A and B are shown apart, each in its own frame.
Chain A
Amino acid sequence: MKQAFKTWVALIIVFLIYIAGIFPAEQATIKEMSGKVTYQPPGRNWMDAKPGTTITEGTIISTGFDSSAILDLSTSEITVKALTRMKLEELIKSDTTASTSLNLQVGRVKAKVKTVEGITHDFKLKSSISTAAVRGTEFEYDGETIKGLSGTVTFSNIIGQTRKVGAGEASATTGVSLPVPVEESKKKQSDVSPYTTTPSTPAGGGGIVQTSVTSYIEEAAGTPPTTPPATTSDVTITITWP
């Protein structure tokens, strides 16, 4: 009985080693950093990071004010910007696949995901309200807003509605709202409205809206109009949910 038990334990250990060999846990390395950067491996206390520090799966990395860190994940590079906290949830790599899942708790990151021939890379960057899934691209992400820098990012909200965000485009969501069409980010960059948008401003825009009834009155009723034509201001998108 004792011998059988020992055999089973040995087999289980061999099996676990085998599994670990098929899906070896990937490690990230802090390539560069500035300011105050700390990290917390699973089940351990916070420690100060330095260039060359190895970050394993399950580690939380945190940057202070005016600080940053660049993580090298071999198939991707993550720039963790100031006042950011991010957890490396999954880092797995084999000969043909790489699976990376990062959870952005607060702050902003820039990600550059490399396309490596022969390797299928499933890269996900998540927050509590959205997910950015990429392959061979570069983007910036702060949990609510994503800015594409190269390639195409699939940006989705909590209920799975998605937008593809290309280079030079951006989208945003409050979590439940549909990710904003990418052209809206271009309009925001190129258009200027003289009117201020308030939380109560409808999507039709602010400013003074006057009805224009001059011609109707003249033609239909034969009397002079009294109000000259006026125009409304530009359309403005306002996300009112925090």
Chain B
Amino acid sequence: MKKRKISFFAIFILLFFSIAAYPFDIGGTLDNSTSFVTPKLPSATRPVSQSDKLSLWINEAGKHLRFDLQGSYTFSLERYYLFDLDTLDFAGQFLLRKNSWPSFSFDLGRLYFSDFTANILANKIDGVQLALGMPFLNVKAAFGYAGSFQKPTSSIIMSKSDVADRLNEAELWAAKRLVGLLELKFPDLFLRQDLMFSFIFQQDLRPDANLTAGGGRYYSQYEGAGISGTIVPLLYWDSFFYLETGKTYNSTTGGYDSIIAFLTGGGLRFYMDKVLYSKIGLKFVYSSGDGDYRSFFEGNTDKSAHAFLPIARPAAALIFTPQLSNIFYGEVSYSIKPFSFAQAAWLKNFQILLKGLPFFKSSAGPISEPGTNTSASTWYLGTEADLIINFRPVSDIGLGVSGGYFFANNGTDGAFLADQQPQQFMIRGELSLSF
């Protein structure tokens, strides 16, 4: 396996430099991320995490057609080598009538699929994406397969069998799922507001023989609507609602139960350009839970399941990053660029960001994080405070230093058990070079 991976990398390098002889645009990036958390969770092997990723990309863009290719090698303390094809995109964009609508575009290959919130679907998928542009409407349709990714590069985990695969070192590939997306966007429809409608589905293709004991398949569809735009100049907002339907396995009955769950959220952002490009942000996200769930995955015990489970796994904070299921959180943030008006150009791109996020459960049911106190009466999980500093002195170098403290609610009758989820501090450094 190691020989195969090295051969693959060697072939990629040869291919890269051969193609580089042609008039393509080529380049690369080297990214480093190092973090230290204290105290570490009982389940973690070490308090330090370190990853380095070398990416090489090729891009060729003509009038109507475009080709993007990016491969990478990632080193981490947990995995010394991970070679991956990050992007392979053959794309085109045309007008179906001369100088008039509609426009048609396509993307084919290894693509990034995302819904308008990036909370339901924000994943790389192998497939095709088509879009049609008309004066008042943009239509996007995408369809693809998620099972051709190496496990570490896929974040799609939706069932007990998916979890079992993660533990099985003999299993190399991510869960076999079909994913589809249809999105309608009405830009600037009224009063400078965009209106969006979205339909997403994922179909679990796991064969019966690969189902883990006590687990089944997880099928879900997501129907959503959202609105975003300008309230007054410099003040912007967005709001969304998603309904999840589908089927989840019930280990008690051995059958499948219907899913009726929802996710909603919104945010406000106020930009103060004259105050050193400051920004104030307010945000909330609520995902429904189910009090009779016995476990986070496929834990339903009654007739219908009400715990929302998205395909993506967005991270809200630095330390505490639960899956958006049975979770309600708010966010208050403030950012500033203190050297915006400095004479030296290299100082201008320096940003300080402060965030405060209180987290709650939406129901008595479980969340994705371990160490919860199942007999607690409170649903308040804790609050995280993060300080993030980002600096880009020149276009080819980026630096980031982040620090966070999670004030876990682990006291008497707290949501967490003190020895399982202590108060935690994390610091992370990031460096990005491009060439």
Contacts and interface: CB of A to CB of B under 8 A. Distances in A.
B309 to A, nearest CB: 11
A53 interface: no
B258 interface: no
B134 A229 contact: no
Q: Is the interface of B mostly helix, strand, loop or mixed?
A: strand
Contacts of B102: 159
Contacts of B172: none
Interface stretch (B13-21, B65-73, B197-205): B65-73
A137 to B, nearest CB: 12
A159 B135 contact: yes
A152 B74 CA distance: 47
A176 B370 CA distance: 48
Interface stretch (A11-19, A111-119, A201-209): A201-209
A159 B101 contact: yes
B218 to A, nearest CB: 13
Contacts of B157: 211, 213, 216
A164 B192 contact: yes
A213 B66 contact: no
Given A176-B133, A192-B351, A226-B45, A160 B370 contact: no
B369 to A, nearest CB: 5
Interface string B317-358: 111011100000000000101000000000001110000000
B66 A206 contact: no
A159 B153 contact: no
A161 B279 contact: no
Contacts of B163: 213, 216-217, 220-221
A219 B53 CA distance: 30
Nearest to A207: B31
B181 interface: no
A178 B396 contact: no
A103 interface: no
A157 to B, nearest CB: 8
A186 B236 contact: yes
A199 B321 CA distance: 29
B103 A159 contact: yes
Interface in A170-225: 176-179, 181-183, 186, 189-196, 198-204, 206-221, 223-225
Interface of A: 158-164, 166-169, 176-179, 181-183, 186, 189-196, 198-204, 206-221, 223-232, 235, 240-242
16 contacts: A159-B133, A161-B135, A181-B194, A182-B230, A183-B228, A192-B392, A194-B392, A195-B398, A196-B432, A201-B87, A202-B87, A210-B51, A211-B153, A211-B154, A215-B368, A229-B315
Interface of B: 25, 27, 29, 31, 33, 35, 37, 40-45, 49, 51, 53, 55, 57-59, 61, 66, 68-70, 74, 76, 78, 86-87, 89, 93-95, 99-103, 105, 111-112, 114, 118, 122, 124, 133-136, 138, 151-155, 157, 160, 163-164, 166-167, 185, 187-188, 192, 194, 228-230, 233-234, 236, 269, 271, 273, 277-279, 295-297, 313-315, 317-319, 321-323, 335, 337, 349-351, 366, 368-370, 390-392, 395-396, 398-400, 430-434
